[in-house]
Structure 1
């Protein structure tokens, strides 16, 4: 296991944002332009910094366990029995005291074909980060597959600022460097949990085009115009190594006329090609929007939907569903609440692949492990690559990682995807013009 020394880039999961203060009313527009320009170039500088230490290169040169990844000679006469299994890159983030939650989420979402990057922000002490890396290194399957890494140096990110965008993009850039064969990117925080096994998810994704992006989005602005789109903030998580306040300016910005704004949620399933489009700088659109959102509150929920729906290359790839279950308060439909055991049936019937807002070690997580994932405490989810006796649940005997054994979760997810891709619903819900 290798710890990657990351440049000062904020992570995508933080504690509650701190109190806000207003800038003096006599600040001129020139000051605002300086703030906007400084924020933009700081984002670009952060994303351009080296992501990993030299020790990470050993992941590329050291061979993985041949039992899990056997060498298959290419045969021109062999008839393929099914589609090639895809691979998912996961960024799993947490804050101080979240090591146990991150590990549980890692075990629950683990598959040897995938790639995992674990991220504890700067509110967590370095000793906790080191313990997390040592624990990961002690798990035999992680060592054999060489697909779990821990970021050694992190920074702050504020959910209300743009530092969360830079943190997510930076995590994705590390995963792009670590592996050249993953197809989709998913960013999870310590409060998330899967509702299907990875065999279920990979099986369904193997039958889909690898250019589909699952992103909740809408062009309806409504109340967000005055509360989230016009205010100007200074996100200190982009510049400082210590936790400071987010500042609100007294001036407001005008809405753009060069592109349309879209809002969504903080969770999405994004393709590798789209992440490369955002990170490698082959087009001006991602950089332009990065500059626009650099000083906007809650910009992380707006950035990816806006880039996707304003890009001629990617707007036809958007599915208006992120496959995540969120429990909303009935009185406040825009504010999610913690998932409880009473919502277990509704959560499973939603056919979502993930759910969010779980408390630490909530009993509903144990029920998901037992009834849905068939996972024993402290163990990974059994899959087709696991050759132990049925019901053993230890996966101490390994087989080919390309073998998938989907279960009931795949049938639920298949039904959901078929409905989403039906012609009338797919097109009518894509990059809405409301």
Structure 2
């Protein structure tokens, strides 16, 4: 019995060997804990980013109390600051089979070293045509120097009336944001669009405007569009197939949404970087919900951005209901606009619009626009203050050499654009917008209009 007791007592004593490692680990843990505590307090005192990361992470699920979202709203509510630096524009030019030459011409007509350009020739175009367009961009010495023209290599299939046009547009915007390129506004054009004034005219005219304005023609969807666009459910084959087919409609009809209001308008827009960051990054769920909703909506390019901006409390007061295009719809208006020709030239100029559509391939009116409005020679860039030039006879040729891109030579087009903007900022025009604010020309700020007595 004693042997057994002695054995157990020795074993019990030997088990205490864990005490030394335990005490050592306890001491180390206590030291690290105290160091962390003092480190946190010191980082709070010096404004270390760790505390900010914790706050932003723990409050992402609560948009009502999100300090980051609140700060952003405060910034949007502040008076618009007129920036000293001239604006920059990001252009998307889209086309399909047989449009590469027209896209080149439009690019030359609207080119400016300050801007960014993305060209998308859709999947219906043969590979040879896309390669030729890419080689043209790569082979131009000015494009290689400035590096502001890109051709989308992995083309998307764009179906008329389907959501694939929105997918193409969001794809281009994502590229512009991912590469952290400098731009203030985004403009989408097709191969059948053409400018009615120089980039110097446009950039000079936009320099006096707040950078938070979104030009997007819109109105609440009503009438025949409710039954022919809002209620049908469509499927776009371009999302699933490699060849272009017409969209087809299901037999089912949907009810109108109750959580947001539907808007419609022109597919041609000039949108701000901040609004498009909201659409792509979506710090709240509205852009994603509406993107899914418009995935099977007829003519979604004429409704997606419009519905997002007019249902967003942050951005609806920045909307101007205009697409900055001269378009002839005829009477009564049909589904497609009329082709413009020389007989429309004077009306286009008097409109003050910076762009017009639609133009047929090689129509003589384009040569007239080049000659009388742009001062552009065939196959050359539209001249401007950025060109290294010595005489008017050499302007077109010497625009292949880059000078100061912050120097503008505005012409009559700038005056026409100024008159147009004055009209668009008026209270009478903005009464039809989803915005509830009015632009004060004297204060250069948005104000809430007074209610009539």
Is the structural similarity TM-score above 0.5? yes
Q: Deviations over 1:133-165 (max 9, x none)?
A: 111122222112110111112121112111111
Instruction: Look up the match of 1:349.
Output: 350
Runs of 4+ in 1 over 6 A off after TM superposition: none
Unaligned runs of 5+ in 2: 1-82, 437-453
**Cα deviations across residues 298-357 of structure 1 (Å, max 9, x unaligned)?**
111011111110000000000011111101112336541101110100011010010011
Alpha carbons of 1:390 and 1:305: their partners in 2 closer, same or farther (altered >3 Å)? same
Corresponding residue for 1:135? 136
Specify which of 410, 419, 425 is matched with residue 423 of structure 2. 419
Q: CA deviation at 1:420?
A: 1.0
State yes or no: 1:238 paired with 2:239: yes
| Cα distance in 1 between the residues matched to 2:344 and 2:135 | 36
Name the counterpart of 1:95: 96
Partner of 2:207: 206
Check whether the contact 1:159–1:300 (CA below 8 A) recurs between aligned residues. no
What pairs up with 1:249-260 in 2 under 5 angstroms?
A: 249-260=250-261
Partner of 1:409: 413
Report the equivalent of 1:13.
none
Shift of 1:195: 0.7
Aligned to 1:26: none
1:431 paired with 2:426, answer no
Q: Indicate the residue corresponding to 1:324 in structure 2.
A: 325
Contact 1:218 1:432 in 2 (8 A): no
Partner residue in 2 for 1:43: none
Q: Secondary structure at the match of 1:233?
A: strand
Asked if structure 2 preserves the Cα contact closer than 8 Å seen for 1:228 and 1:296, the reply is yes
Between Structure 1 and Structure 2, the one with more helix by share is 2
Q: Which moved more, 1:352-361 or 1:381-390?
A: 381-390
Residue 192 of structure 2 aligns to a residue whose secondary structure is coil
1:374 counterpart residue number: 375
1:313 corresponds in structure 2 to 314
Q: Over alpha carbons, which structure has the higher Rg? A: 2
Q: CA RMSD in A?
A: 1.7
Q: Provide Cα deviations, 1:13-67, integer angstroms capped at 9, x if missing partner.
A: xxxxxxxxxxxxxxxxxxxxxxxxxxxxxxxxxxxxxxxxxxxxxxxxxxxxxxx
Of structures 1 and 2, the one scoring higher in RCO (CA 8 A, sep 6+) is 1
SS at match of 2:266: strand
- The secondary structure found in structure 2 opposite 1:89 is strand
User: Following TM superposition, by how much is the alpha carbon of 1:247 offset from its aligned partner in structure 2, in angstroms?
Assistant: 2.1
For residue 391 of structure 1, what is the aligned residue in structure 2? 393
Give yes or no for contact 1:184–1:270 (8 Å, CA) kept in 2: yes
CA distance in 2, matches of 1:391, 1:212: 38
**What is the rounded CA distance, in whole Å, between the counterparts of 1:271 and 1:129 in structure 2?**
29
For 1:208, what is the secondary structure of its paired residue? coil
Classify 1:126/1:223 alpha carbon distance in 2 versus 1 (closer, same or farther; 3 Å).
same
Distance of 1:201 and 1:144 partners within structure 2: 23
State the secondary structure of the residue aligned to 1:403.
coil
| 8 Å Cα contact 1:219/1:432 also seen in 2 | no
State how many pairs are aligned: 352
User: 5+ residue gaps in structure 1?
Assistant: 1-81
Once the two structures are superposed, the pairs formed by residues 220-235 of structure 1 within 5 Å of their partners are 220-235=221-236
Contact 2:217 2:269 (C-alpha < 8 Å) held by counterparts: yes
1:164 aligns with 2:168: no
Rounded Cα–Cα distance in structure 2 between residues aligned with 1:352 and 1:141: 28
Q: Distance in 2 between matches of 1:297 and 1:333?
A: 16
2:265 is the alignment partner of 1:264: yes
Match of 1:11? none
Deviation at 1:178, TM superposition (A): 2.8
